[in-house]
Chain A
Amino acid sequence: DQQVKQNSPSLSVQEGRISILNCDYTNSMFDYFLWYKKYPAEGPTFLISISSIKDKNEDGRFTVFLNKSAKHLSLHIVPSQPGDSAVYFCAASEGNNNDMRFGAGTRLTVKP
């Protein structure tokens, strides 16, 4: 039962352009959403999060947008840099529940 879906397994973007990574979820009880970034041979690291009471959260070049009615969130990276090349995981959780659900990840490649 895949409650969090990342339908694009990969994305390639030119340096300096915008990267948009998408994530859809099915559980309307999810109220906290996170993006993790993973480099090869390393564990995922926390990137940015958003609570369901907001529709946008910005941190430097990274912005997460949440559309609750569509059960959709996206991560925007502007401008994209080659060092952003990694696998990005979307995750969602409900209340204080420790059970965080992950998407399958999207591999972003930023070309110089």
Chain B
Amino acid sequence: GAVVSQHPSWVICKSGTSVKIECRSLDFQATTMFWYRQFPKQSLMLMATSNEGSKATYEQGVEKDKFLINHASLTLSTLTVTSAHPEDSSFYICSARDQGLREKLFFGSGTQLSVL
């Protein structure tokens, strides 16, 4: 099946620093990728939809200047958490859609971010 690679899987950073998370579709081209965040015992919440070659579409309540998304190619999207604070500590996960089919949504393994 299709593979989505997400790195890093785990990161600890100091408050005020920026963290970049990469999401790559390894064996298919993804014009659309999605970024989610999950707090403990809560749902996977969609943060933004990343479109190749254009600006990302952010969900209500998600700060676009804080969570910078770049989808420069059909196989790579990056999420940069800028000036991270402890409240940004969460599990971030990306997904990519293959062939535009709803069930063809493949997920990365996620990134656990801890901001000290």
- Taking CB atoms and an 8 Å cut-off, the chain A residues in 91-112 that contact chain B are 93, 98-105
Interface size on B, residues (CB 8 A): 27
Q: B103 to A43, Cβ gap below 8 A? A: no
Q: B105 to A104, Cβ gap below 8 A? A: no
Contact partner of B106 among A41, A43, A102, CB < 8 A? A43
Question: Could you say which residues of chain B place their CB within 8 Å of the CB of A43?
Answer: 4, 6, 93, 95, 106-110
Given A34-B103, A41-B109, A43-B95, A98:B43 Cβ within 8 A: no
Question: Could you say which residues of chain A place their CB within 8 Å of the CB of B110?
Answer: 43
State A93–B4 Cα separation when bound (angstroms): 21
Q: Is A28 an interface residue (CB 8 A)?
A: no
Given A43-B6, A43-B109, A98-B49, A32:B102 Cβ within 8 A: yes
Contact partner of A4 among B43, B59, B105, B106, CB < 8 A? B43
Q: B108 to A101, Cβ gap below 8 A? A: no
B96-114 Cβ-contact flags toward A at 8 Å (1 or 0): 0100001111111110000
Question: Could you say which residues of chain B place their CB within 8 Å of the CB of A14?
Answer: none
A/B pair count, beta carbons within 8 Å: 55
16 additional A-B residue pairs with CB within 8 Å, beyond A44-B107, A89-B44, A101-B46: A34-B103, A41-B9, A41-B109, A43-B6, A43-B106, A43-B107, A43-B108, A43-B109, A44-B44, A44-B93, A46-B104, A46-B105, A93-B102, A100-B46, A100-B102, A103-B43
> Which B residues form the contact surface with A (CB < 8 A)?
1, 4, 6, 9, 32, 34, 36, 41-46, 49, 59, 93, 95, 97, 102-110
> Which A residues form the contact surface with B (CB < 8 A)?
2, 4, 9, 32, 34, 36, 41-46, 49, 89, 93, 98-105
